[in-house]
Amino acid sequence: MSSSPSSAILQIRDLHVSFPVRGFRKEPIRVIRGVSLDIAPGETVGLVGESGSGKTTIGRAVLGLAPVTSGSITFQGKDLGQMSPRERRRSAKDIQAVFQDPYSSLNPAMTIEDILSEPLQGVDRRQGREKVRSLLESVNLPGNAGQRLAREFSGGQRQRIAIARALALSPKLIICDEPTSALDLSTQARVLDLFLEIQERTGVAYLFITHDLAVVRRMSHRIAVLFHGAVAEIGTARQISEQPEHPYTQRLLMAAPVANPLEQERRRAERRRLLDLQDQQIEQGGGNKDMWVA
Ligand SMILES: Nc1ncnc2c1ncn2[C@@H]1O[C@H](COP(=O)(O)OP(=O)(O)OP(=O)(O)O)[C@@H](O)[C@H]1O
Ligand SMILES: [Mg+2]
């Protein structure tokens, strides 16, 4: 376990999230079960885990969009749950999000200029234009793209527009939820570079959610592995990718595709060995079966 930075911009403490289930006397499902996580200013914390492990729910809880049952989320020293609606709105501008689907997250019939100037309330028209131009340039799109409609752009370009919109209010933290998963590989690489470049330039922190270990390794300073709504392990990107401690992380690593067939075969063998070990442990009654579901 790595120690948490005390100067964290975001502190999540013992977070629990449950969703109500329809039906008489049905117990709510507990999706997040006691997650604690810190993010320092300018840091990227990667959040990985299998589908359904609760990654998106954590991001939504930070954005105030998931039903927090207990625990706290503190942003810049203030408990988000204790804030007045007004304070909450003020801090909302400092926490932005970029989601997976660049097709549904932008209104296809709006011009880029309208999309990007929407968050800029109280800015006069001329200043607004200039700001839009500089936002577009900051994500490497031509400054004159503002007059075109969102639907005229490709997936990668739309994701750049979504990033530009997230940057409009100079946030301190961006929740990135699978922001490149819908893009082809070369586009993905360029958009990831853009995220890194923006962080270098602005010092923004990222909570970087993905199921792709190669992506998370490239992007993150630290990585948290989520398993059934709890953090299975957290450490530097290097620790997690080179010496994972939790069997689930080991399995996840073995499952990540690699280009080299020999390496792939070695990993397959290692995966089989881990699975055999699991069977043995379950037979001996010593293994926790839950721990191995991947
Ligand atoms: N609004 C909701 N109502 C009920 N259950 C929900 C709701 N949102 C999420 N869940 C449940 O919470 C669990 C975690 O979902 P979540 O979307 O956070 O997982 P995830 O790790 O992001 O998965 P993926 O990798 O597929 O995106 C799932 O079992 C999901 O069905
Ligand atoms: Mg998700």
Per-residue pLDDT of the chain (294 residues; tens, 9 = 90+): 444 445 899 999 999 999 998 888 888 999 999 999 999 999 999 999 988 999 999 999 999 999 999 999 999 999 999 988 888 888 889 999 999 887 788 888 899 999 999 888 878 888 888 999 999 999 999 888 999 999 999 999 999 999 999 999 999 999 999 999 888 888 999 999 999 999 999 999 999 999 888 899 999 999 999 999 999 999 999 999 888 888 888 887 777 666 666 666 776 777 677 767 766 765 665 444 443 333
Ligand number nearest CA of 177 is: 2
- Residues 229, 289, single domain; the answer is no
Helix ranges (H only) for the chain are 55-62, 85-92, 112-117, 125-138, 155-167, 185-202, 213-219, 237-242, 247-255, 261-283
- Residues 1, 85, single domain; the answer is yes
Q: Is residue 79 part of a domain?
A: yes
**Nearest CA to 17 among 27, 8, 30?**
30
- Cα–ligand 1 centroid distance for 229 (angstroms): 10
Separation CA 261–CA 244 (nearest Å):
22
- Residues 65, 13, single domain; the answer is yes
85: which residues sit within 8 A by CB, 6+ positions away? none
Separation CA 203–CA 212 (nearest Å):
24
- Residues 66, 9, single domain; the answer is yes
Distance of CA 231 to the CA centre of its chain: 14
- Residues 12, 84, single domain; the answer is yes
- Residues 293, 212, single domain; the answer is no
252: which residues sit within 8 A by CB, 6+ positions away? 48, 50, 213, 225, 244, 294
- Residues 22, 68, single domain; the answer is yes
pLDDT for the residue 294: 33
pLDDT for the residue 38: 98
This prediction has a pTM of 0.85
CB 57 within 8 A of CB 66: yes
Ligand 1 is surrounded, with C-beta below 6 A, by: 19, 31, 49, 51-57, 211
Q: Is residue 204 part of a domain?
A: yes
- Residues 28, 87, single domain; the answer is yes
pLDDT for the residue 3: 44
pLDDT for the residue 159: 92
Separation CA 117–CA 123 (nearest Å):
9
Q: Best of 22, 27, 31, 47 to mutate for ligand 1, by most ligand atoms within 8 A of CB?
A: 31
pLDDT for the residue 283: 65
Backbone angles phi, psi at 248, to 5 degrees: -65, -40
Ligand number nearest CA of 99 is: 2
Q: Is residue 35 part of a domain?
A: yes
pLDDT for the residue 122: 79
Q: Residue 221's domain spans which residues?
A: 1-94+199-244
**Nearest CA to 195 among 225, 215, 223, 169?**
215
Q: Is residue 211 part of a domain?
A: yes
- Residues 283, 209, single domain; the answer is no
Q: Is residue 64 part of a domain?
A: yes
- Which three-class secondary structure state does DSSP give residue 201? helix
Q: Is residue 72 part of a domain?
A: yes
Backbone angles phi, psi at 136, to 5 degrees: -60, -40
- Cα–ligand 1 centroid distance for 100 (angstroms): 15
- Residues 237, 265, single domain; the answer is no
- Cα–ligand 1 centroid distance for 62 (angstroms): 15
Separation CA 31–CA 43 (nearest Å):
26
**Nearest CA to 46 among 219, 199, 166?**
219
**In CATH, what number is assigned to the domain containing residue 240?**
3.40.50.300
- Residues 211, 240, single domain; the answer is yes
Q: Is residue 156 part of a domain?
A: no
Total residue length of the chain: 294
Total structural domains within the chain = 2
Q: Is residue 142 part of a domain?
A: no
- Residues 87, 9, single domain; the answer is yes
* Secondary structure (H, E, C), 112-160: HHHHHHCCCCCCCHHHHHHHHHHHHHHCCCCHHHHHCEHHHCCHHHHHH
